[in-house]
Amino acid sequence: MGDQSNSPSSSIDSSSHPALCSTSSIFQTRRDLLSTDLKLGLGLSTSALHGCSSKEREQLSHWPPIKPLLRSTLEEKVHRSHSKTFFVKVYMEGLPIGRKLDLLSHNGYDSLMRTLRRMFRTTITCPDTSRVPPEKAHVLTYEDEEGDWMMVGDVPWEFFLRTVKRLKITRADKC
Amino acid sequence: MTYFPEEVVEHIVDFLGSHRDRNAVSTVCKAWYQVERLSRRNVFVGNCYAIRPERVMARFPWMKSLSVKGKPHFADFNLVPYDWGGFAQPWIEAAARGCPCLEELRLKRMVVTDDDLELLARSFPNFKSLVLVSCEGFSTDGLAAIATYCRGLRELDLQENEVEDHGCQWLSCFPDSCTSLVSLNFACLKGEINANALERLVARCPDLRSLKLNRAISVESLNRILARAPHLVDLGTGSMTVNHHTEAYHRLINTFLRCKSLRSLSGFWDASSCCLQAVYPVCVNLAALNLSYAPAIQGDDLIKLICLCFRLQKLWVLDCIGDKGLAAVASSCKDLQELRVFPSDIYGAGTTAVTEEGLVAISSGCPKLNSLLYFCYQMTNTALVTVAKNCPHFTRFRLCILDPGKPDPVTNQPLDEGFGAIVRSCKNLRRLSLSGLLTDKVFLYIGMHAEHLEMLSIAFAGDSDKGMVYVLNGCKNLRKLEIRDCPFGDDALLKDVTKYETMRSLWMSSCDVTLRGCRALAAKMPSLNVEIINESDEADEFQENLSDLHKVEKLYVYRTVAGGRTDAPDFVWIL
């Protein structure tokens, strides 16, 4: 009992009748199915689910035993973290050629600002500094899901990641 | 024989609260049955198919409060097909005809339609409280009817229902004359809410003590609402997306400072650590805290928040709290009675999750712990034995090891001894959920020691029919037994068929019971409904050709005085 090295096929005899099979081997298959699914780990996304049979997909949605509301909240979080990269276009005012930046490789605004300053070799000021920015400085703006251009930094980082479509570095005196 | 006038019996019976006691009184003699039934105000129906609604209404015409449950528990985990049954309609219709003084209705895991809600709203002039838990089938239009027609409504409590969004107007349907609300919970609604209408409603209900908002309510709205309801005892926040530079955040801190009566907090949708400081002023008085919808709150911020709540009795949290966090909770929250630790990473083997260490820490720091739901990736027998010794007062013990059939990682042994220690030590255990690698032995222990066990959930456990038989033979108070993916077959099912008459229900899915076994059970016990759920596409073809040895996908057996039900869909066969 519980010997994980038993392969299911070796204990099924020549008769294919389900009731005559060793119950522990079928039990093993059931456990293996779910264990394998669980071990698929971060690679599993909803698109990967289409590769499973409908029975397997059903099994997946029944384990672990958590209620639908919690499951959908967690799946939302998983959706966001599955795409290990999130590249957005970054343009600087005056430069026709833009760059691309992976937002998920940063853990907050500070990290993002540092990378952009390095990439574009310019001072990018934050909205909460009270110093009057010199003419040469820039501010960072982004286009949100509604198409509006907003100042970067006002909303929590996780929220920003959900709504940002692209970035633009504009001259400070325009804001 | 001493004669008691009916008035005296009635007076005595009035002191009996519990359903069990009242049920016992009603079986003494005809006179007592009459007295009891006419004086019963709270009626509880654990299985909506166990009795016809008309009979309930006829027996208890002066009923004020009715509670009905529909689908079996495993419906919560998608194991019961969508249209299996559990319709509220016959209950509401019968109550409308037979019990017009109904004031409270509580439905759990039932299908409720907008028409049902409208009938409810129009039929009971004294209606005060509607509680819907894990229900589905209605929309915000149904809520509009409740708001419009229930004058004097005190409670509208929607817990984890699937509600179709038909717009936000429902909240505006509460008339200006509605000032009686004490409890309003719409946290499960997915759509937008008319924040202005909500603020005005809150402002005109001075007795409002419990308010749970949904994700559509912003922090700005929350500020305005809390300003009007500083006496709230129980609050579910809306979306807590707020940047700590903004004015909204500063106002939030001030608002919470004024909420001196808050004892329970939940919600925290989209909350990140920076908004937590706003809540610090109320932590010291909190008795209950639910952070299970806030996966972004982690690490030290999470621990700091919880450790401020030193009067906490109930904590629901995600496993990102970690063993270290649980140890901190154990040293701060000495009054903790109920702990639920939910999994935050349901697709992979998380490394930040909790292990047996966290549970042991909690058990040694919180001796009052009596209710546990714990999701983890591993558990050891030694840990369970320690927990059993530290916390003998468990009434509910649910352990879910996320890897099915996983043994003790240290000894590679099954967890029989660990769970055995739990049932031996916790003499008042009423509810138990097992997981991990388990042999028949654990069921022997359960049968021997779990005298007061009422509900047992088993998954991926056991070796043979003997396991199930131990439980059925031993647990005298067993009411609900739910089993999935276990090697229990017809022999176990048929060993003691009269046992099922003493229980509310039995669920078995992906086990080894066959059609023959189920048919035999149905034949022997006409007082039971034996339902077979076969959803596979081949079911139609095979219906005639189905051999008796065909394994049954899902079996649901329950005692009933109502006979077979007539509302079952095609894929449910009632034998």
Q: Model confidence at B18, in pLDDT bands (50, 70, 90)?
A: confident
Q: Which of residues 409-448 of B touch A (CB under 8 A)?
A: 414, 437, 439
Distance (Å) from the C-alpha of residue B536 to the closest C-alpha of chain A? 9
Q: Within an 8 Å CB–CB cutoff, is residue A81 touching chain B?
A: no
**Helix pair B322-332, B299-308: axis angle to 10 deg:** 10
Mean pLDDT of B395-401: 97
User: How many residue contacts between A and B have a Cβ separation below 8 Å?
Assistant: 122
φ, ψ (nearest 5 deg) of residue B375: -100, 130
Mean pLDDT of B303-311: 94
CA dist B136 → A2, B109, B112 (Å): 40, 8, 6
Closest by CA position to A101, among listed A116, A114, A123, A84: A116
Per-residue pLDDT at A5: 39
Q: Within an 8 Å CB–CB cutoff, is residue B81 touching chain A?
A: no
B31-49 per-position pLDDT tens digit: 889 989 998 999 999 999 9
- Please give, one letter per residue, the 3-state secondary structure of B456-481: EEEECCCCCHHHHHHHHHHCCCCCEE
Per-residue pLDDT at B275: 80
Contacts of B539 in chain A (CB under 8 A): none
Lowest mean pLDDT among B103-117, B256-270, B436-450: B256-270
Strand A99-102 and strand A87-92: pairing? antiparallel
Closest by CA position to B143, among listed B179, B109, B114: B114
Q: Sign of torsion, CA B136 B142 B146 B149?
A: negative
Q: Which two tokens stand for residue B315?
A: 């904590």
Q: Where are the extended beta strands (E) located within chain A?
A: 87-92, 99-102, 124-125, 138-143, 149-151, 166-171
3-state SS, residue B366:
coil
Nearest to B347 among A78, A154, A159 (CB): A78
Compute the mean pLDDT over every residue in chain B, rounded to the nearest whole number.
92
Burial category of B495 from C-beta neighbours within 10 Å (exposed 0-12, middle 13-18, buried 19 and up): middle
B74-101 per-position pLDDT tens digit: 999 989 998 899 999 999 999 999 999 9
Interchain pair B344, A74: CB under 8 A? yes
d(CA B394, CA B359) in angstroms, rounded, equals 13
Q: Which two tokens stand for residue B95?
A: 């109550």
Per-residue pLDDT at B274: 75
d(CA B451, CA B466) in angstroms, rounded, equals 19
d(CA B264, CA B226) in angstroms, rounded, equals 14
Q: Within an 8 Å CB–CB cutoff, is residue B188 touching chain A?
A: yes
All residues at 6 or more sequence positions from A9 whose CB lies less than 8 Å from its CB, including other chains: none
Mean pLDDT of B213-236: 92
Nearest CA in chain B to A20: B549
Nearest CA in chain B to A78: B345
Nearest to A1 among B270, B295, B463 (CB): B463
Closest by CA position to B136, among listed B213, B79, B70: B70
All residues at 6 or more sequence positions from B329 whose CB lies less than 8 Å from its CB, including other chains: B303, B306, B307, B315, B321, B336, B362, B365, B366
Give whichever of A118-122, A155-159, A168-172, B409-413 has the largest mean pLDDT: B409-413
Single-letter residue type at B380 = T
Position B370 pLDDT exceeds 60 = yes
Contacts of A19 in chain B (CB under 8 A): 512, 514, 549, 551
Position A34 pLDDT exceeds 60 = no
Interchain pair B344, A65: CB under 8 A? no
Q: Which of residues 326-345 of B touch A (CB under 8 A)?
A: 342-345
d(CA B491, CA B514) in angstroms, rounded, equals 10
Q: Within an 8 Å CB–CB cutoff, is residue B551 touching chain A?
A: yes
d(CA B289, CA B382) in angstroms, rounded, equals 30
CA dist B165 → A75, B190, B553 (Å): 21, 7, 34
Per-residue pLDDT at A72: 85
Which H or E element spans position A79? helix A68-82
Distance (Å) from the C-alpha of residue B319 to the closest C-alpha of chain A? 12
Distance (Å) from the C-alpha of residue B79 to the closest C-alpha of chain A? 7
Interchain pair B349, A38: CB under 8 A? yes
Strand B528-533 and strand B554-559: pairing? antiparallel
Q: Which of residues 103-162 of B touch A (CB under 8 A)?
A: 134, 160, 162
Interchain pair B241, A73: CB under 8 A? no
Q: Within an 8 Å CB–CB cutoff, is residue B186 touching chain A?
A: no
Q: Within an 8 Å CB–CB cutoff, is residue B349 touching chain A?
A: yes
ipTM exceeding the 0.95 mark: no
Closest by CA position to A140, among listed A104, A83, A88, A97: A88
Closest by CA position to B280, among listed B317, B308, B310, B239: B308
d(CA B51, CA B562) in angstroms, rounded, equals 5
Interchain pair A67, B487: CB under 8 A? no
d(CA B332, CA A104) in angstroms, rounded, equals 36
Single-letter residue type at B47 = N
Interchain pair B402, A38: CB under 8 A? yes
Contacts of A1 in chain B (CB under 8 A): 439, 463
Q: What is the CA radius of gyration of chain B?
A: 25
Contacts of B459 in chain A (CB under 8 A): 65
Q: Which two tokens stand for residue B153?
A: 């409504």
Closest by CA position to B317, among listed A79, A68, A70, A60: A70
Single-letter residue type at B456 = L
Is residue B548 within 8 A of residue B515, CB to CB? The reply is yes
Interchain pair A42, B348: CB under 8 A? yes
DSSP letter for each residue of B401-416: ESSTT---TTT---SH
Q: Within an 8 Å CB–CB cutoff, is residue A47 touching chain B?
A: no
Which pTM was predicted?
0.81
B146-202 per-position pLDDT tens digit: 999 999 999 999 999 999 999 889 999 999 999 999 999 999 998 889 999 999 999
B504-526 per-position pLDDT tens digit: 999 999 999 999 999 999 999 99
Interchain pair A61, B460: CB under 8 A? no
Interchain pair B402, A64: CB under 8 A? yes
Q: Give the residue from A39, A74, A157 with the most B CB atoms within 10 Å of its CB, the best one to mutate.
A: A74
